[in-house]
Amino acid sequence: MNALTRIAVISDIHGNSTALHAVLADIRQRGVDRIYNLGDLAGKGPDGPEVIDICQEMCDVNIFGNWDELITRSDSGSASVQWHRQRLGAERLAWLRSLPLSADFRLSGRRIRLIHASAQGVWHRVFPNSDHETLMAMFENTELTGFDHPQPDVVGYGDIHHAFIMPFFIPKNKMLFNAGSVGNALDEPRATYAILEGVWDGEDWDAPFGISLVRLPYDIESVITRAQALNMPHADELAVELREAIYRGMQAKAQRPLNAD
């Protein structure tokens, strides 16, 4: 039997180098052969430049995400985005702009597709409780994914910062998974990533194949301390997200008066 290849799928690091280092250390211990990064490297956290430099060196494939699109737009009026943008510098911004929108390969007979958010676009958000039509649209060929590939059997993505694995059996075997977030998880306060295992470029569907999720603790307080020391915009909101896995939009909603419009 052919040797199995292990592929780490990481996503949404969001400028958190401490979480990234924890994940990379775990990846090394597990004997992973390839690393695919599904985007959103910088923004929100304090370490965007370091994260980009590490991913350029360590990841076999880096994919373009919505924050990568936002942070490379010169017309963004957000002071927070501009703060992160200015720290990256021209070369890193140019590298981010060059990233592909998707990656396709075959593993144990299955055609795998990795994207950031959805086949419809980097800003099109899909949740595990989305309707069946929306979920099945993740397997379509679109302008983002390209029309010259066979449709995938397995689709992996990031974006929503909630990890899950969901099989589909109608109309045919499909599997959708989300790799969660390395640096800004919003389902539990740990660094999360996925591992695929199978025969690389293999055609035999009966060959071993697996998807698993890994969750790791890391030094959250050190990230918060760095963000505060840099006077990073929205450092307080980031602190709640990292400590409690509560999205900053929900934080703002919870703080509104009961009679607010």
Do residues 151 and 138 make contact, with C-beta atoms less than 8 angstroms apart? Answer: no
The residue whose two tokens read 């929205």 is 234
Give the pLDDT score at 261. Answer: 36
Q: Helix (H, G, I), strand (E, B), or coil: what is residue 139?
A: helix
CA 114, CA 91: separation in Å to the nearest integer?
25
CB 192 within 8 A of CB 213: yes
Q: What is the DSSP letter of 151?
A: P
User: What residue spans of the chain are helical by DSSP H?
Assistant: 17-29, 48-58, 66-71, 79-97, 132-136, 220-229, 235-244, 248-255
Q: Indicate whether 254 pLDDT > 70.
A: no
The pLDDT tens digits for 70-93 are: 999 877 668 999 999 999 999 999
Query: Within the chain, what is the greatest distance between any pair of CA atoms?
Result: 66
Task: Name the pLDDT band for 260 (thresholds 50, 70, 90).
Answer: very low
Residues 24, 27, 32, 35, Cα dihedral to 10°: -40
CATH 3.60.21.10 fits 5-255, yes or no: yes
Q: d(Cα 221, Cα 93) in Å, to the nearest integer?
A: 28
Reported as a pLDDT band with limits 50, 70 and 90, residue 4 is very high
157 band by pLDDT with thresholds 50, 70 and 90: very high
Q: What are phi and psi of 128, to 5 degrees?
A: -65, -20
Q: What is the pLDDT of residues 199-210, one digit of tens each?
A: 999 999 999 999
Q: Are 177 and 211 in contact (CB under 8 A)?
A: yes
